[in-house]
């Protein structure tokens, strides 16, 4: 009996070693590609391209879709910030998704809105009925009021019906864009006619100071729960997504900030309102359609930090978000299962999707079972401590190395954290994340896996937000630090 147990523990530990070797091996390759791409982006002389895009009448127009639900505290500043972006042709579409506060009244008062009777497209499909439509006198701002069905994607689809520019950009009302964000995001569309979608690096806005809708000071946030997310975002966005895009395997463009060719989005019927991972679903659907029709296409990613968004500042809110992400990933995988290991879908089908199935979705199951067996085996003497050390190295050690490497890439390329002590905090956070947070995070993901596998109802939850820290001397109207606001 003991012999059988010993053999089982031994081979499970070896499987765990192989599993994490492949997992971290693939990520290290993605990281290296990401690092090369970031380095190329940083060193490439892009200022001329950006100024040419800004100054040219042939620059494609962008419709910016902002779904807003009870955003009275920040919506005016959000629109003002969008209006101040450096881009020659922007049309802002705010979709007031059944707000019960004064979101619409604030917009109406501040931007002199008038009823609009302009015609809108018939597609894509949405559930919430459109109540009415308003437009500013200059025509650059349209506000659509609709009944809420508690789905962000439904509001975005309404925005897509109103959008009339070549490119559509979807952002969250609480996202803050860098002044040149739209220029950066438009550049790949201009340079390559086959680009169908472009994602941008998103950074946690917790800890940054804002003045007149622009980020003025970047410091590490005070709470560990926020700091950990800074490291996660560096690893996932700056390095991960840049790397995946460079090997033509990008699967996710965040809903908080992404741009697409309008035609490409409409061809796949807009966002899937039944999906919890509607942003990834959109990218996968666009890729699938292009591949099915054998059309040249590219999904690009801009490594330059372009968008700041507030991340959950409590573990409770974070757990809700992560459960939802995990569940959404499971639903997406189930929906697009025919693409997995299908050579027709290129890198996305042969590498990205299998990677996400095996390591991102089922990862928590392998992680928890494997870690328990290996640790118990080492303590009871069923396996040697050497073997346990090997398992620990390929799982924890390589993960720590990849996190630290992400910090190194950020420091070399963008160095947005101005103080040395923030950089040191960033380094310490990578250790805290792996040794403490990782366990809790795995548990949350496991709950999401359970919900996805057993078709439990989707949960969006409510995240309390505290707003951006405004620099006191130049505080604009309405958006007050510390004022709670909620977003479904």
Partner 1 sequence: MIGTIEALPSIPGLMMALLLTSATVCALIGVTVVLTRVARTIAHAREHKQREKVRPLLLDIFDGNANFTLPRAELRALIRLAAESATQVRGEDRDALTSWLTAQQFHRECLRRMKSPFALTRARALDRFAPIASLAPGAIERMLSDRDPRVRSLAAQVAGRSGMKSLVPALLHSAEAPRSIPARIVLMAVLRAAPSTIADFGGTPVDGNDRVRAMALDLAGQLNLVDARRAIEAGLDSPSEFVRLASIRSIQRLGSPLSLPALQKMSTYSAYEHSHAQVAIYELQVG
Min. distance of Cβ 193 from partner 1 in angstroms? 6
Site string for partner 1, 118-147 (x = CB under 8 A): ------------------------------
CA distance 142 to 42: 36
Out of 25, 139, 381, 436, which residue is the one contacting partner 1 (CB under 8 A)?
Answer: 381
Site string for partner 1, 398-427 (x = CB under 8 A): x-xx--xx-xx--xx--x----x--xx--x
Cβ-based nearer residue to partner 1, 4 or 117: 4
Cβ-based nearer residue to partner 1, 243 or 330: 243
CA distance 208 to 468: 7
Min. distance of Cβ 419 from partner 1 in angstroms? 9
Out of 61, 354, 397, 476, which residue is the one contacting partner 1 (CB under 8 A)?
Answer: 397
Min. distance of Cβ 362 from partner 1 in angstroms? 25
The residue range among 80-88, 94-102, 202-210, 392-400 that interacts with partner 1, by the rule CB under 8 A, is 392-400
384 binds partner 1 (CB under 8 A): yes
Q: Length of the chain, please?
A: 488
Min. distance of Cβ 95 from partner 1 in angstroms? 30
Cβ-based nearer residue to partner 1, 393 or 460: 393
CA distance 115 to 135: 6
Out of 84, 314, 380, 455, which residue is the one contacting partner 1 (CB under 8 A)?
Answer: 380
The partner residues of 115 in beta bridges, in order of sequence, read 134
Q: Which residues within the stretch 245-284 sit at the binding site for partner 1 (CB under 8 A)?
A: none
Residue 173's contacts (CB-CB under 8 Å, 6 or more residues apart) are: 66, 67, 68, 71, 74, 75, 78, 94, 487
- Number of residues engaging partner 1 in binding (CB under 8 A): 53
Out of 117, 138, 386, 472, which residue is the one contacting partner 1 (CB under 8 A)?
Answer: 386
Site string for partner 1, 47-86 (x = CB under 8 A): xxx--xx-xxxxxx--------------------------
Residue 111's contacts (CB-CB under 8 Å, 6 or more residues apart) are: 79, 136, 141
The residue range among 46-54, 253-261, 268-276, 462-470 that interacts with partner 1, by the rule CB under 8 A, is 46-54
CA distance 251 to 284: 6
The partner residues of 389 in beta bridges, in order of sequence, read none
The residue range among 26-34, 296-304, 382-390, 435-443 that interacts with partner 1, by the rule CB under 8 A, is 382-390
CA distance 86 to 88: 7
316 binds partner 1 (CB under 8 A): no
Neighbours of 147 (CB within 10 A): 12
Q: In what order do the strands lie in the sheet with 62-68?
A: 114-115, 130-135, 141-146, 90-97, 62-68, 167-171, 257-261, 195-204, 298-309, 175-177
Min. distance of Cβ 32 from partner 1 in angstroms? 14
CA distance 432 to 371: 18
Contact yes or no for 215/176 (Cβ under 8 A): yes
> Beta 298-309 vs 175-177: how paired, if at all?
antiparallel
The residue range among 17-25, 42-50, 97-105, 480-488 that interacts with partner 1, by the rule CB under 8 A, is 42-50
CA distance 108 to 332: 38
* Tokens matching residue 58: 């042939």
Contacting residues toward partner 1, per CB under 8 A? 2-3, 5-7, 10, 40, 43-45, 47-49, 52-53, 55-60, 190-193, 380-390, 392-393, 397-398, 400-401, 404-405, 407-408, 411-412, 415, 420, 423-424, 427
């Amino acid at each position: 009996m003991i012999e059988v147990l010993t053999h089982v523990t031994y081979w499970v530990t070896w499987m765990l070693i192989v599993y994490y070797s492949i997992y971290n091996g693939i990520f290290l390759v993605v990281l290296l590609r990401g690092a090369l791409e970031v380095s190329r982006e940083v060193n490439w002389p892009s200022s001329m391209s950006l100024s040419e895009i800004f100054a040219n009448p042939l620059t494609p127009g962008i419709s910016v879709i902002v779904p807003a639900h009870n955003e009275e505290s920040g919506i005016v500043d959000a629109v003002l910030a969008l209006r101040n972006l450096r881009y020659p042709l922007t049309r802002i579409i705010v979709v007031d998704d059944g707000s019960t506060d004064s979101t619409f009244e604030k917009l109406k008062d501040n931007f002199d809105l008038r009823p609009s009777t302009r015609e809108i497209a018939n597609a894509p499909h949405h559930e919430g009925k459109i109540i009415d439509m308003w437009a500013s006198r200059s025509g650059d701002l349209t506000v659509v009021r609709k009944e809420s069905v508690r789905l962000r994607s439904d509001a975005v689809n309404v925005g897509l019906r109103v959008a009339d520019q070549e490119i559509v950009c979807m952002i969250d009302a609480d996202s803050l864009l860098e002044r040149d964000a739209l220029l950066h995001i438009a550049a790949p569309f201009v340079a390559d006619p086959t680009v169908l979608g472009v994602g941008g690096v998103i950074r946690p806005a917790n800890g940054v100071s804002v003045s007149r809708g622009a980020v003025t000071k970047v410091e590490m946030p005070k709470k560990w729960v926020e700091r950990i997310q800074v490291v996660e975002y560096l690893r996932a966005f700056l390095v991960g997504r840049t790397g995946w895009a460079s090997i033509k395997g990008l699967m996710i463009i965040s809903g908080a900030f992404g741009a697409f060719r309008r035609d490409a989005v409409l061809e796949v019927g807009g966002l899937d309102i039944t999906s919890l991972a509607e942003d990834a679903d959109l990218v996968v659907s666009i890729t699938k359609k292009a591949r099915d029709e054998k059309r040249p296409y590219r999904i690009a990613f801009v490594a330059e930090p372009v968008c700041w968004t507030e991340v959950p500042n409590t573990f409770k809110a974070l757990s809700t978000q992560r459960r939802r992400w995990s569940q959404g990933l499971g639903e997406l995988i189930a929906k697009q299962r025919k693409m997995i290991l299908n050579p027709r879908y290129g890198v996305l089908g042969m590498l990205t999707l299998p990677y996400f199935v095996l390591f991102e979705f089922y990862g928590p199951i392998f992680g928890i079972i494997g870690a328990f067996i290996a640790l118990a085996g080492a303590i009871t003497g069923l396996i040697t401590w050497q073997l346990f050390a090997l398992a620990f190295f390929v799982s924890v050690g390589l993960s720590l190395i990849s996190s630290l490497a992400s910090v190194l890439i950020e420091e070399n390329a963008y160095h947005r954290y101005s103080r040395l002590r923030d950089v040191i905090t960033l380094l310490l956070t990578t250790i805290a994340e792996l040794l403490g947070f990782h366990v809790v995070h795995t548990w949350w993901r496991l709950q999401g896996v359970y919900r996805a596998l057993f078709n439990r109802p989707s949960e969006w939850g409510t995240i309390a937000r505290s707003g951006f820290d405004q620099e006191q001397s130049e505080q604009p109207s309405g958006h007050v630090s510390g004022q709670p606001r909620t977003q479904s």
